């Protein structure tokens, strides 16, 4: 056993987990050279290449992993994932079912088959392997996510929300689950909750264009007078209120330099400042009430994610 190879393998896995795929390719490439009999090195290489869009190389690496150990079910699941990423949805069914044959008590093969069906737009067919996976691993966040995603596509909003929330209980930092939950809540007319879910997804992964587009579309459709917009621009409103006071003070100071206008200016500025302050307080109170009415679990999750982001844990 090569100590250097093991070190490269651990580094590759760490880089992959951190989504540093270029580094994962380099480290897993070193690991495959030093540990040619370890399928794990080829699997990390295949997944990293696939994430970078280098699909032909990813398929070659996944094939090499199977050549090393054709009885290792995970090799076939990664092969299926690489085929799916390359757009070869029908071809991905074979390795996913081979993984089920090799390890029927593991949910991975069933998840891979379900993903094939979902990518082909057949959510009803995808539920069949998903139910088998759920029976094997009822506390698997990935299975619960795909169950929610399948029901979302079938228009079963209540079931979709239930599965997605169960998934978030197990893995609260998955942006795909949060985005899909946002879609479900939006379809139910719960726009403020939906916006909070989209914002949480973006907070976790700012590169998620789908969640960004969903949030922007939602806010655009809500209009400036909506309670949801008030909630999400609450801080802006507060800052705007302060800026109004600063502006009024500046105008008053300039006018007060002229003695003949001083009494009038002071009276006008005082009245306008009081009106502005009253409007500012009303806006802030309404925004706070709206925030308090949001889905409590989503509010807690969003606050926790914000803390984790600030502390560098995300």
Specify which of 218-222, 242-246, 279-283, 286-290 reaches the highest per-range mean pLDDT: 218-222
Mean pLDDT of 51-68: 96
Tell me the two tokens of residue 27: 């480290």
Cα separation of 303 and 11, whole Å?
32
- Claim: this prediction has a pTM higher than 0.85: no
pLDDT value at 21 more than 80: yes
At 18 the pLDDT is 87
* Interacting residues of 245 by C-beta distance below 8 A, sequence separation 6+: 273, 276, 277
Q: How far apart are CA 36 and CA 146, in angstroms?
A: 34
Q: Give the mean pLDDT of the chain.
A: 81
Alpha-carbon distance of 236 to 247, in angstroms, equals: 16
Pick 133 or 263 by higher pLDDT. Answer: 133
> How far is it, in rounded angstroms, from Cα 145 to Cα 138?
11
> In this structure, are residues 74 and 42 in contact, taking their beta carbons and an 8 Å threshold?
no
Q: At residue 253, does pLDDT exceed 90?
A: no
Which residue reads 């100590």 in tokens?
Answer: 3
Spell out the domain ranges in the chain. Answer: 234-310
Question: What contacts 203, CB < 8 A, 6 or more positions away?
Answer: 302, 305, 306, 309, 314
- The confidence band for 217, taking pLDDT boundaries of 50, 70 and 90, is confident
pLDDT for the residue 223: 57
Please give the pLDDT value at position 208: 75
């Amino acid at each position: 056993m090569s100590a250097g190879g093991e070190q490269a393998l651990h580094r590759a896995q760490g880089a992959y987990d951190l989504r540093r795929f270029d580094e994962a390719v380099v480290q897993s490439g070193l690991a495959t050279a030093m540990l040619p009999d370890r399928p794990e090195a080829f699997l990390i290489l295949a997944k990293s290449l696939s994430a970078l869009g280098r699909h032909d190389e990813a398929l070659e690496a996944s094939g090499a992993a199977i050549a090393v150990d054709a009885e290792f079910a995970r090799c076939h699941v990664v092969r299926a994932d690489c085929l799916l990423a390359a757009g070869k949805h029908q071809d991905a069914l074979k390795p996913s079912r081979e993984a089920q044959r090799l390890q029927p008590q593991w949910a991975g093969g069933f998840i891979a088959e379900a993903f094939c069906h979902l990518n082909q737009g057949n959510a009803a067919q995808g539920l069949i392997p998903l139910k088998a996976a759920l029976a094997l691993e009822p506390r698997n966040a990935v299975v619960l996510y795909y169950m929610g995603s399948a029901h979302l596509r079938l228009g079963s909003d209540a079931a979709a929300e239930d599965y997605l929330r169960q998934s978030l209980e197990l893995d609260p930092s998955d942006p795909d689950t949060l985005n899909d939950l946002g879609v479900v809540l939006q379809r139910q007319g719960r726009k403020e909750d939906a916006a909070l879910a989209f914002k949480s997804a973006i907070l976790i992964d700012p590169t998620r264009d789908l969640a960004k587009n969903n949030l922007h579309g939602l806010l655009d459709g809500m209009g400036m007078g909506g309670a949801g917009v008030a909630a999400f621009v609450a801080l802006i409103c507060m800052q705007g209120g302060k800026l109004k006071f600063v502006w009024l003070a500046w105008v008053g100071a300039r006018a007060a330099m002229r003695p003949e206008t001083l009494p009038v200016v002071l009276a006008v500025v005082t009245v306008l400042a009081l009106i502005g302050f009253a409007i500012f307080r009303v806006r802030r109170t309404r925004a706070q009430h709206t925030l308090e009415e949001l889905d409590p679990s989503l509010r807690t999750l969003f606050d926790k994610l914000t803390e984790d982001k600030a502390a560098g844990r995300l």
